[in-house]
Chain A
Amino acid sequence: MIEYILRRIRKPGLKIDESTPLFSSGLVDSMALADILAKLEDLTHTRIPPGKVQPKDLETVSIMFATAQRVGKPLK
């Protein structure tokens, strides 16, 4: 996921880890979050029910995986 986010936001030289704030820091905008959510669904084999996530639920890589575990529904 970290590699994907780095490719997606295209900021040369930037380093992030599992606890780097993504949303509140401005590194990730809402349109990129849509892709990141889709990637999260792919990686966790879940569908994240719309309307059940807020920016704080996706603030860091570790939080977003916890979110997927909490609200994601396994893909059929």
Chain B
Amino acid sequence: MVGSHGKPENLLDALAAAPDDSPFVTAWVNEDNRETVTFAEFRRRARSQACVLRSQGVARGDRVVIIMPQGISAMTVFVGAMMLGAVPAFLAYPNLKIEPSKYRSGLAGVTANLKSKLVVIDEHFPQEMLGHVSLNDEASVLRVSEDLVKIGSDRSHENATGDIVIPGDSVAFIQHSAGTTGLQKGVALTHAAVLRQIEHLRDALRIHRETDRIYSWLPLYHDMGLIACFMLPMVCHAEIVLQAPLDWVMHPATMLQIISQHKCTLAWLPNFAFQFVPRRARHDSEQYDLSSLRALINCSEPIRASSMREFERAFTSIGLKSGVLQTSYAMAETVFAVTQSDITQPSGPARIWADGEKFRRSHCVVPVEEGSPGSVCFVSSGRLLPQTEARIAPESATGFSLAQPDAGRAAPVQVGEILIKSDCLFEGYYNRPDLTREAIVDGWYHTGDLGFVLEEELYVIGRKKDLIIVGGENIYPQDIEEIIADHPAIHEGRVVALGVYNPDAGTEDIIVVAEVEDEALLANPAAIEQELRSRVIAGIGVAVGTILLKPQKWIVKSTAGKPARSTTLEKLLKEHPEFDVVSDGSGS
């Protein structure tokens, strides 16, 4: 069904309108193992999955948790659930990239919050993990075997979904924000909001069904994977070539191989991947050709000019064109993108250089000449998508003082928390009205990100002070501090976990500063540090880069007697200048 303006009313209408014979998904495992399904075949398989789900009692509004390896089966189960009016949610499948303790914690927390009717897993899902799936009395686990897929296929003639009307304002699915506590926040999104977002993206990226092909290794439980690399091609009737995240991380050159062989035109990557790929795939790259790419979008982490430069330098020789590297600012709460850089600009996203000292001391941006000594380079995330507003909230709580403009210079641009209003904004966190009230105030979503606006371009410089991002993953420092502070050698309540950018990794490192009970312990800190590191790993599955044990009263306290993060970080960077790499991009 389409609306009065010729637009689909829900995501399934958009899928139904796709041409039968056009390829939709190619699941790439290796050179000898790949599968392509057309839109017609995808629809048929999704209907089959809907039959299977219905036979398990799934009905409109039921939550269906899908924990399956990345691939066509997981995608068809997802759409099959939507066909019943149910609300699917992808959760991460256990693999190498996800530490077991963190995974177990997340699985228990998220499934408890969703109160799902059905949890769909594949036949290889580890039995020991099932104990961490939270099920209520009416819920069940469906282990999808090859046999069951066949049963589903045999039932494909049944009219499983024909009578079900899916209103545009109904919830289409739930996508989760990242988190380490097991209390990942589920973002419930309506069909209409997702369709609006895709319309904005389609216009901004000038997507053409006949000529565009998207490459992705991005997990489907992440907004980049789910929206940009599943819903977007589904609605725009473009083709997606995807591989499993673990396959990519183990063999990064396969990204170049797939783009080259399938002539992919669009892809999204988090910032760290712009360093990860060239450093590990450079020697294998000569045989590939990236000239088909027209936009490779840096998204989901603060953007580093040096990372993008590294990628560009590594792969220009194999056809990477000028202006292909682009940027976006996105989050699950706005379905996906808030901004998109102008992909028609051959020079790529806007960049500015700012006085590094003023930025560090006053958290304001004073533009300077490109490459000035001590300058800081910022890369724009682009302009706001249509029907989107952004506001920079003053950062009064951090203790930074406002900088005064120098004579003859433009007034400094103040950095603050980015607040967003959008026609794609979520209505709340699933089953978490408490978190929703904190996040949305007077219609503005408080992103927790710091940034500034200059000449209508949004620059995102990092997370708000209490959040650390490692490899695109949000780490809440309180989770780490709580574990460290529990150790008898550590002075109670005197721990601060901080994220400091590591230019080698292209992402943040975690540094923990902790005061010891007895200064004699400082003579031989290695054993304590290792024990603390092991405790954090065991507790939340996070690897701490550096642990610095300090004497009492080293950590700066706020007037309320709590550790003051930003001031402690300043002190740390003064004492340990090797960690101060904020002047990324200066002079080059």
Interface residues of A (CB under 8 A from B): 13, 23-26, 28-31, 33-35, 37-38, 48-51, 53-55, 58
Contact = CB atoms under 8 A, between A and B. Distances in A.
A30 B248 CA distance: 13
A2 to B, nearest CB: 18
9 residue pairs, one from A and one from B, having the closest CB atoms: A26-B537, A50-B247, A29-B543, A26-B533, A30-B97, A26-B543, A34-B249, A37-B250, A50-B246
A65 B543 CA distance: 24
A51 B244 contact: yes
Contacts of B533: 25-26
B219 to A, nearest CB: 13
Nearest to B530: A25
B534 interface: yes
User: Could you say which interface size class chain B belongs to?
Assistant: 20 to 34
B537 A33 contact: no
B386 interface: no
Interface in B524-556: 526, 530, 533-534, 536-538, 543-544
Contacts of A50: 29-30, 244, 246-247, 250-251
B100 interface: yes
B543 A33 contact: no
A30 B92 CA distance: 15
A37 B29 CA distance: 17
A24 B530 CA distance: 12
Interface in B84-122: 94-100
Given A37-B250, A50-B251, A31 B534 contact: no
Given A26-B537, A50-B250, A51-B244, A38 B280 contact: yes
20 contacts: A23-B99, A24-B538, A26-B534, A26-B537, A26-B543, A26-B544, A30-B97, A30-B99, A30-B249, A31-B272, A31-B276, A33-B96, A34-B276, A35-B280, A50-B30, A50-B246, A50-B251, A51-B244, A51-B246, A55-B100
A71 B505 CA distance: 29
B282 to A, nearest CB: 13
A33 B505 CA distance: 13
B535 to A, nearest CB: 9
Provide the main secondary structure of the chain A interface. Answer: loop
B471 A38 contact: no
B416 interface: no
Contacts of B29: 50-51
Given A31-B276, A34-B252, 16 more contacts: A13-B526, A25-B537, A26-B533, A26-B544, A29-B543, A30-B96, A30-B98, A30-B99, A31-B249, A34-B276, A34-B280, A38-B251, A38-B280, A49-B30, A50-B29, A51-B95
Interface string B272-284: 1000100010000
A54 B250 contact: no
B23 interface: no
Contacts of A13: 526
Contacts of B250: 34, 37-38, 48, 50
B69 interface: yes
Contacts of B276: 31, 34
Output the residue of A13, A26, A33, A38 with the most chain B CB within 10 A.
A26
Nearest to B97: A30
Contacts of A53: 96
Given A26-B543, A30-B249, A58 B96 contact: yes
Contacts of B534: 25-26
A38 B247 CA distance: 12
Nearest to A29: B543
A26 B541 CA distance: 8
Nearest to B536: A26
Interface string B501-533: 000010000000000000000000010001001
A8 to B, nearest CB: 11
Nearest to B470: A29
A31 B505 contact: yes
A57 to B, nearest CB: 8
Contacts of B272: 31
Given A31-B276, A38-B250, A55 B505 contact: no
